A = this chain, B = another copy of it.
Amino acid sequence: MLTIGDLSRATGVKIPTIRYYEQMGLMAAAERSGGNQRRYESHDRERLSFIKHARDLGFTIEAIRELLELSAHPDRPCVDADEIAVRQLQSVRNKIAKLRLLEKELDRMTSRNHDDQVKHCYVLRSLANHDMCVSEH
């Protein structure tokens, strides 16, 4: 039997977050000790590790709920899980593409900024005037 603290140390998920996942229904309501403290088993640790890993990969709570639901039904087609992961991959690629554009603009702003007073500041002028941008973002 693990306490919530044990579970937290074992998975790297903070205690309030574990309780939050319980509230959100991602983790089943834990059994309780005589004194009303949560007690866990190793399968809870595995489930929480799964959740943590998926969160680290940027899956939303909703997506994780679906993935957990899928893994509870071994005979369902794998395509469903694949679709969720592909969606996530696309969202990650979208974010990267957008951030690259921002990087380009910020790099331009900061590298051309050689004046010494705010009234000539390239950064501030760039922010005030979208036309100075080199790309759509």
Write the residues of chain A forming the contact surface with B, with a CB cutoff of 8 angstroms.
46, 49-50, 53-54, 56-58, 67, 70-71, 73-82, 84-86, 88-89, 92-93, 95-96, 99-100, 102-103, 105-107, 109-110, 113, 115-124, 127-128, 130, 137
Number of copies: 2
B57 A117 Cβ-Cβ under 8 A = no
User: Interface on chain A toward B: helix, strand, loop, or mixed SS?
Assistant: helix
Among B58, B124, B127, the residue within 8 A (CB) of A102 is B58
A-B contact pairs, 13 of them (CB 8 A): A46-B128, A57-B137, A67-B123, A67-B127, A70-B118, A71-B118, A73-B118, A78-B122, A81-B123, A88-B106, A89-B110, A92-B102, A95-B95
